[in-house]
């Protein structure tokens, strides 16, 4: 199969200047604000986005320099297969976050509940639609015993070394 390449559509700006200390999920970043600079050639694509309260950001983990198939995630002491985690050290270092949309001013999108490092390249935006995106679940794997740790879990830099 041929190589797939993506071009960023913007840059995510947040208070987090390095991975260490960054919340590991939007739920852990409750109330933390940031903004996205959309490159001018993509600004027209923001039309009607302000009608949504939440958006899904798809971005590139630009600080991850290695890929591992077995990782020790932030909320567990045991190792797991990378595809059973949200760890950034992946074959394709792509991240997703559902954040609250505060407002849009020209090519700037103001967001809240941020868990992303400043300067992260944005690949795409999708509107969050509960009827499309919310699912009833029966199980959450190894996280069942660890999910209570989420509010206090922060990045410790383990995936950029």
Q: Is 146 inside any structural domain?
A: yes
What pLDDT score does 146 carry? 61
Rounded distance between C-alpha atoms, residue 14 and residue 12, angstroms: 7
Q: Is 4 inside any structural domain?
A: no
What's the whole-number average pLDDT of the chain?
88
Q: Which domain holds residue 120?
A: 10-152
Q: Is 1 inside any structural domain?
A: no
What pLDDT score does 53 carry? 96
Query: Over the Cα atoms of the chain, what is R_g?
Result: 16
Contacts of 30 (CB under 8 A, 6+ apart): 113
- This prediction has a pTM of 0.85
Other C-beta atoms closer than 10 Å to the C-beta of 101 total: 20
Residue pLDDT, tens place only, 90-130: 999 999 999 999 999 999 999 999 999 999 999 999 999 88
Rounded distance between C-alpha atoms, residue 23 and residue 154, angstroms: 5
Q: Is 32 inside any structural domain?
A: yes
What pLDDT score does 38 carry? 98
What pLDDT score does 43 carry? 98
CATH number of the domain bearing residue 139: 2.40.30.70
Q: Is 45 inside any structural domain?
A: yes
For the chain, residues with pLDDT lower than 70 are: 139-156, 158-159, 161
Rounded distance between C-alpha atoms, residue 161 and residue 153, angstroms: 19
Q: Is 79 inside any structural domain?
A: yes
What pLDDT score does 72 carry? 86
Q: How many domains does the chain have?
A: 1
Q: Is 93 inside any structural domain?
A: yes
């Amino acid at each position: 199969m041929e190589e797939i390449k993506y071009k960023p559509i913007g840059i995510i700006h947040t208070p987090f200047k390095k991975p260490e200390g960054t919340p590991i999920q939007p739920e852990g970043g409750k109330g933390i604000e940031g903004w996205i600079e959309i490159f001018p050639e993509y600004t027209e694509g923001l039309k009607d986005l302000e009608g949504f309260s939440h958006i899904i950001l798809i971005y590139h983990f630009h600080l991850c320099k290695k890929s591992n198939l077995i990782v020790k995630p932030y909320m567990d002491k045991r190792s797991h297969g990378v595809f059973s985690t949200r760890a950034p050290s992946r074959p394709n270092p792509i991240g997703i976050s559902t954040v609250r949309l505060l407002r849009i001013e020209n090519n700037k999108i103001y967001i809240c509940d941020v868990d992303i490092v400043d300067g992260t390249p944005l690949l795409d935006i999708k509107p969050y639609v509960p009827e499309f995106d919310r699912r009833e679940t029966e199980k959450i794997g190894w996280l069942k015993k660890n999910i209570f740790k989420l509010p206090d879990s922060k990045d410790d830099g383990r995936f950029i070394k």
